[in-house]
């Protein structure tokens, strides 16, 4: 063993630190399409049947009727499915 020669234990270990990354950008806020309240009052939610069975997003401020009015996947209800009050 040569005292002038470093042993493997004496060698500095390479750094295992990961290179720093820039922070992830925040996702863009969802812009919810809305309906005029006067138009929504005239809409009967029973006139459309949901085919997707999707629920609201946790940040969605719209009512079920407003979502159904705007949904392009909901189908018109058959006349016998519409209940008049």
Q: Looking at the whole model, is its pTM more than 0.75?
A: no
Residue that has been written with the tokens 């407003």 in this structure: 66
- Low pLDDT (below 50) residues in the chain: 81
Domain that holds residue 54: 39-81
Residue 16 lies in a domain: no
Q: In a 3-state reduction of DSSP, which class is residue 52?
A: coil
Residue 12 lies in a domain: no
Residue 4 lies in a domain: no
For residue 18, give both structure tokens: 């990961």
Q: How many domains does the chain have?
A: 1
- The Cα 20–Cα 25 span in angstroms is 15
Residue 72 lies in a domain: yes
Contact 38, 17 (CB under 8 A): no
In degrees and rounded to multiples of 5, residue 79 shows phi and psi of -60, -35
60-74: pLDDT as tens digits:
999 999 999 999 888
Contact 60, 67 (CB under 8 A): yes
Residue 77 lies in a domain: yes
Residue 46 lies in a domain: yes
pLDDT given at position 78: 78
């Amino acid at each position: 063993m040569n005292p002038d020669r470093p042993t493997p234990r004496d060698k500095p270990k390479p750094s295992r630190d990961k290179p720093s990354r820039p922070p992830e950008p925040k996702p863009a806020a969802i812009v919810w399409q809305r309906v005029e309240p006067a138009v929504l009052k005239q809409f009967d939610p029973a006139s459309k049947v949901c085919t997707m069975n999707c629920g609201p997003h946790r940040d969605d401020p719209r009512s079920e009727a407003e979502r159904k009015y705007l949904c392009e996947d909901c189908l018109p209800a058959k006349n016998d499915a519409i209940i008049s009050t």
